[in-house]
Amino acid sequence: MSVEESLAEIREVIAQARAAGITQFRGYVSTAFGCPYEGKVDPKQPLRVMEALLKAGVTELSIGDTIGVGTPAECVAMVDAVAAKVPREKLAAHFHDTYGQSLANILAVMERGIAVFDTAVAGLGGCPYAKGASGNVGTEDVIYLLNGLGIAHGVDLDAIARAGREICVELGRAPASKVAQALSAKQAA
């Protein structure tokens, strides 16, 4: 469906959810930096979509790089542009690690006041419609980063890594998370 059709559907879903007593809604702009169909994204386009999501009733916006092509400078510029219209505490981010920039992007936007991030145990997931796109940033990698920065988060890195290992065994694949790989090697030694 087109962006306009999608926005119409979102407005309808929010209206129905409100009628059912739901008051919090996170809206995603999934290809804010690059699109598998259109290539590089003009920053005005995701900003237009984010404004439409806010008008539709979204209470939190997630800026997404689901094909993993964004760089820290692009992410900071996008966050700053969106934050001119939306309080930073209502922003979240979603990064994939195709070009190995997800942790750098997270750190860059953390320094701009973003504190909510989507992650995936063992770096699982992905973007099946974008050729060559890799999985989500690994939860283990983000937790290790937060630990190194001395940021309290309440997540047990060893428990997350253990869960990731078990899932990967069931899936018959290795974890994409570098921290998960390092912890697995350390455990095997």
Per residue in 75-93, pLDDT tens? 999 999 999 988 899 999 9
Q: What is the pLDDT of residue 128?
A: 66
pLDDT tier, 129 (very low <50, low <70, confident <90, very high otherwise): low
Catalytic residues: 127
What is the residue-averaged pLDDT of the chain? 92
- C-alpha 187/C-alpha 189 separation (Å) is 5
CA distance 65 to 31: 5
The CA distance from 27 to 25, in Å, is 6
- Read off the tokens for 6: 């999608």
- 119 pLDDT exceeds 80? yes
DSSP per residue, 137-161: PBHHHHHHHHHHHT------HHHHH
Out of 4-8, 19-23, 63-67, 123-127, least confident range: 123-127
**How does residue 3 score in pLDDT terms, banded at 50, 70 and 90?**
confident
CA dihedral 87, 113, 123, 185 (to 10 degrees): -160
Q: Mean pLDDT, to the nearest integer, of 137-166? A: 96
Is the pLDDT at 39 greater than 80? The verdict is: yes
